[in-house]
Copies of this chain bind each other. A is one copy, B any other.
Amino acid sequence: MTAVSPLAPTSYPTLPPIAGVHFASAEAGIKHAGRTDVLLATFDKGTTAAGVFTRSKCPSAPVDWCREALQSGKARALMVNAGNANAFTGKRGRETVKLSAAMVAEALGCRPKEVFLASTGVIGEPLDAAKFDRVVERLVAHQHDGPWIDAARAIMTTDTFPKVATRTAWIGDAAVAINGVAKGAGMIAPDMATMLSFIFTDAPIAAPVLQSLLSRGVTGSFNAITVDSDTSTSDTVLIFATGQVAGAKPITLTRDRRLAGFREALDDLLLDLAHQVVRDGEGARKFVEVRVERATSKRSAKRIALSIANSPLVKTALAGEDANWGRIVMAVGKAGEPADRDKLAIWFGDTRVAFHGERDPDYSEAVAAAYMKSQDIVITVDIGLGTGSDRVWTCDLTKEYVAINGDYRS
């Protein structure tokens, strides 16, 4: 169960320092001893923030806190813990976030609402703020500019590998850096899963613009992945922009043309991190892209794609390396979106297996079967009714998923 996912990247990029961002991690013993489980990142004055959160009707206490904290658009710190989600912890949970933010604020000399919090792990267990008390001072005293892989490791729970990504973008003549870390392996579905991701940049971007970039950016990345269709109470993506890059004037309008390159780089980084989350899907052996084309709308295409990606019968067939396109038909049919059986076409990779509502007469089971042994699989469905297309990513459903989740709490 602790073996690294076979879909893990073979190497990790080295992330550059981000001017104005510092961090440290510590062992607070929140759930297990002997592992780092708290990350404290601090930001120089002038840092802006934006965030996107779970759509769960039962969000965690830190999610509630961050939503409020974002109203000012200013950030001085981010504290993340693994091992306990501080979700469904009632009044005590609210006390814990308040106390934790106050501790960090006092140590840094900022306002509590400039401290962002995220927690991941077990739901329903009270999280004792005293655990942070023991480590906050030391964390503040030992802030570094790297290595970033340590930050990614500190937020892991059932993850089998740390998730990092970096991009460079030009804002006018200034090269800005964007670093990101993420965690997540199960309870992964739009929108968004026990999935935390934190993005840091030295770009000078006002909070409302940052919010717009992030909200759009997650649509095709973190909101287009599913491991098991289960959505967490704690999903959080936060972006922090220190504005410390030299030579770029602040961007205060979404329509600023200098944003084009940054937007592209950010979207690419978000997709990279989202794919890493799927590649660490609990028990995953296959990384699967589901493309739906020519649906009646992009929204309809995404719903059909998610119906396929979330189907246990499709996912178990993928685990069994079975080119079982009948189950794709089933999943298209159950999506509830416009579809005409007799216009459907389905591909596994480049092999068209079904066409015009029946098995493709030229389809070779041997070729399809060979393709299904690949680690990365692309399923394409042509609905044949319109011009809406979209893509989502998922993994297969294996016995290991059941094993990992059948005994998670103990």
Assess the B87–A316 pair: CB atoms within 8 A.
no
Given contacts A87-B329, A90-B356, A402-B397, contact A59 B341 (CB under 8 A): yes
- CB pair B232 A330 closer than 8 Å: yes
Within 8 A of B (CB), among A292-342: 310-313, 316-317, 319-320, 322, 324-327, 329-342
Binds B, one of A38-46, A121-129, A160-168, A242-250: A121-129
Looking across the interface, which residue of chain B has its beta carbon closest to that of A353? B124
Greatest chain B CB density within 10 A among A85, A313, A334 is at A334
Given contacts A87-B329, A124-B358, A230-B312, contact A407 B320 (CB under 8 A): yes
Does A34 belong to the interface (CB within 8 Å)? no
Identical copies in the complex? 2
Contact between chains at B336 and A55 (CB < 8 Å) = yes
Q: Mark A376-409, 1 if CB is under 8 A from B, else 0.
A: 0000000000000000000001110111011111
Least Cβ distance of A386 to chain B in Å?
14
Interface residues as binary, A117-149 with B (CB distance below 8 Å gives 1, 0 otherwise): 000001111100000000000000000000000
A358-B57 in contact (CB<8A): no
Select which of B54, B125, B329, B403 is within 8 A of A123 by beta carbon: B329
A88-B357, A399-B399 given as contacts; is B55 within 8 A of A313 (CB)?
A: no
CB of B329 within 8 A of CB of A88, answer yes
**B333 near A401 (CB under 8 angstroms)?**
no
Nearest CB on B from A40, distance (A):
26
Give 20 pairs: A residue, B residue, CB < 8 Å, sorted on A. Answer: A57-B335, A57-B336, A57-B338, A58-B339, A59-B333, A85-B326, A90-B357, A122-B326, A123-B330, A125-B359, A187-B313, A230-B334, A232-B330, A312-B312, A312-B401, A317-B405, A320-B406, A320-B408, A398-B402, A398-B406
Name the prevailing secondary structure of the A interface residues.
loop
Q: Which residue of B lies closest to A325 (CB)?
A: B124
Q: Is A228 an interface residue (CB 8 A)?
A: yes
Q: Is the CB of A324 within 8 A of B408?
A: yes
Chain A interface extent, by class = 35 or more
- Do A58 and B329 have beta carbons less than 8 Å apart? yes
Residue pair B89, A358 in contact (C-beta under 8 Å): yes
Docked-complex contact B124 and A341, CB < 8 angstroms? no
Interface residue? A93 (CB, 8 A) = yes
Chain B residues lying within 8 Å of A232, measured Cβ to Cβ, are 330
A231 part of interface (Cβ distance < 8 Å): yes
Question: Distance (Å) between the CB of A280 and the closest chain B CB?
Answer: 16
Are B57 and A406 in contact (CB-based, < 8 A)?
no
From the candidates B56, B93, B326, B406, name the one contacting A330 in the complex (CB within 8 A).
Answer: B56
How distant is the Cα of A312 from the Cα of B227 in the complex, in angstroms?
10
Please report the C-alpha to C-alpha distance between residue A330 and residue B231 in the assembled complex, in whole angstroms.
7
Evaluate contact between B123 and A316: CB separation under 8 angstroms: no
A186 interface hit (Cβ, 8 Å): yes
CB atoms of B123 and A57 under 8 A apart: no
Inter-subunit contact A233/B333 (CB<8 Å): yes
Q: A230-B313, A334-B56 are in contact. Are A88 and B341 (CB under 8 A)?
A: yes
Inter-chain contact A311/B399, CB cutoff 8 Å = no
Assembled-state Cα–Cα distance A399/B126 (Å): 32
Which residues on the B side are within 8 Å of A325 (C-beta)? Answer: 124
Is there an interface contact between A319 and B58, defined as CB atoms closer than 8 Å?
no
Q: Flag if B317 contacts A92 (CB, 8 Å).
A: no
Bound: A325/B397 CA distance, A: 23
Q: Is A177 an interface residue (CB 8 A)?
A: no
A323–B223 CA distance with the chains assembled, in angstroms: 29
